[in-house]
Structure 1
């Protein structure tokens, strides 16, 4: 039986459900705005009992690399590493995908009525994958409900005596439409991005290109008019905060996803298997470990021994702000 934790906020009639055994995936966030019940997160009807496709529902947590590593191979400090498809997830083109944490069981280390904290340590929770990465790591995520806001605090910890290479991202599926009586045709996605990475088979070539009109996410695009699977950069911040929006004009509702400015890339994706849009904050681009150079690390991080890095992502439902 799947271990599911439910947290609630009585003042706003909000609830969130987290599948501890499937990547600590928050697969449901429901709240009330002006009497309207808003289901924020899209998930398959049989998730998380059906664990076959854990990256297709909810909010998958992508670590120690978001998205793909080309051919499942990389070099670090002169050593070549291979991530085989029998030990970690790969896409249909043979690239390692979405890290080591999204498809394994986590441990709950603290819980209250409106919050829960989960922890994943590579050597403890996926020891079969330990040799696939240069060091052990600990990823801690705290989900907390405050009114109609789902707050997440993310802590990366290096428990070893060696530098830890890492990147992190989330893969939120925002359910469309937001209103019970509206349609997907009234829904827009907006992200503060000015460029996108040129991709071949979902991997960056290293070049960034200007945005086409249909991908002008900075002004908002109607979701039913585009097919998105793009990696954007040139992220603009306001007071060091990155904000993406999903808006349902017919219902007068919006979802705001805000995060700190350590998230420098945004993936926008319209999944063909459900009515949703993904706006995914990443600390680095796809395949960043193979893109870094002496002149530019492209956001790829190295955490010193016995150090931590903290970041946050908040998701809030409310009325459209004009």
Structure 2
């Protein structure tokens, strides 16, 4: 049995904070996007998140958005980098040449600070934060002052994630966040991709144009996508880079990945503030896929639809927003 603890150490040579509780362990790399790079069950050999192979940390540094749990602000794509907001138009650099869009912002690549870590009788935990001000890459393009905190906790009930945002500035800010969560399939050492079924609380599928931007219309779900809504489907049934509305089921907004060989289900309960899902499976190549909970529709500031429908959230000066997610096995 692993000692219940939280401590500073390294992960493949990078500064990390490790959490341990029972058979669970997790590691976060603060200086590279505050990314929780590992969540494991050490007794069963489960590795739930995509990690870089040993000795290949440079792959993570080059593409931190496809490992662990990267936090995105603002998430996904913005047409020509344009970001209209409250009578102003801000410009983000075009960093996806093939679409001519800006993609994913800078939180997942910028350094975060460790605010606190430790253990109680109930959990081991770590809190990291990123203060956005004139010294931040994000502020160069979206000049809003705010603090983002992430608290991860390990307990008998798995891994808890708390996202906290406080508007420190003097003007209303866009509160648009997502996680590009990379889930292993298989997560068990002796299982294969064919053993896995995934389901998610998706609703309607947004139609995307050739630049991967929503047209404002919906497309009918395929039979396999209907299985994604219901009994489950293999996560690599076809190439997926699909955008859906989120429709909670039984009061919860979640993804469930079942290892049918073992009869074990990994649950990612994301919270109901996330109004959209993006599901991407890296051209159905196998090994991992990304169920991405998003507050907002892709390109939301440029879309003429009701703000509540597309998750175009805002925070007034001094306001706070937070949401909690949980990862656990049943």
- 1:245 corresponds to: 256
Does the CA contact (< 8 Å) of 2:202 and 2:247 recur in 1? yes
Shift of 1:100: 2.1
TM-score if structure 1 supplies the norm length? 0.89
Match of 2:191 among 182, 186, 207: 182
Change in 2 beyond 3 A, CA 1:285/1:47? farther
Aligned partner of residue 3 in structure 1, secondary structure: strand
- 1:37 corresponds to: 45
Which residues in structure 2 correspond to 1:114-263 (within 5 Å)? 114-123=124-133, 127-147=136-156, 149-200=158-209, 201-216=211-226, 217-219=228-230, 220-239=232-251, 241-263=252-274
Aligned partner of residue 215 in structure 2, secondary structure: strand
- 1:74 corresponds to: 83
Q: Which runs of 5+ in 1 are unaligned?
A: none
Aligned partner of residue 270 in structure 2, secondary structure: strand
Which residues in structure 2 correspond to 1:278-289 (within 5 Å)? 278-289=290-301
Q: Aligned partners of 1:66, 1:108: CA distance in 2, in Å?
A: 23
- 1:304 corresponds to: 316
- 2:104 corresponds to: 98
Does the CA contact (< 8 Å) of 1:292 and 1:300 recur in 2? no
Aligned partner of residue 221 in structure 1, secondary structure: coil
Q: Aligned partners of 1:117, 1:229: CA distance in 2, in Å?
A: 31
Change in 2 beyond 3 A, CA 1:226/1:178? same
Residue deviations 1:110-168 (CA, integer Å, cap 9, x gap): 111421101111216x5243131141121111011112511000111100111011211
Residue deviations 1:54-78 (CA, integer Å, cap 9, x gap): 1121111012x21111111122222
Shift of 1:222: 1.2
Does the CA contact (< 8 Å) of 1:91 and 1:97 recur in 2? no
Does the CA contact (< 8 Å) of 2:66 and 2:181 recur in 1? no
Q: Aligned partners of 1:288, 1:186: CA distance in 2, in Å?
A: 37
- 2:117 corresponds to: 111
- Cα RMSD for the two superposed structures: 2.0
Shift of 1:244: 1.3
Q: Aligned partners of 1:150, 1:118: CA distance in 2, in Å?
A: 15
Q: Aligned partners of 1:223, 1:284: CA distance in 2, in Å?
A: 23
Q: Aligned partners of 2:306, 2:189: CA distance in 1, in Å?
A: 52
Does the CA contact (< 8 Å) of 1:291 and 1:297 recur in 2? no
Shift of 1:209: 2.3
Q: Aligned partners of 1:247, 1:91: CA distance in 2, in Å?
A: 36
Shift of 1:292: 4.6
Q: Aligned partners of 1:261, 1:210: CA distance in 2, in Å?
A: 23
Shift of 1:234: 4.6
Aligned partner of residue 17 in structure 1, secondary structure: strand
Q: Mean alpha-carbon deviation: is it higher for 140-149 or for 288-297? A: 288-297
Aligned partner of residue 129 in structure 1, secondary structure: helix
Shift of 1:53: 0.8
Residue deviations 1:193-219 (CA, integer Å, cap 9, x gap): 221110123211111222111222112
Q: Mean alpha-carbon deviation: is it higher for 21-30 or for 74-83? A: 74-83
Aligned length: 308
TM-score if structure 2 supplies the norm length? 0.87
Shift of 1:91: 5.7
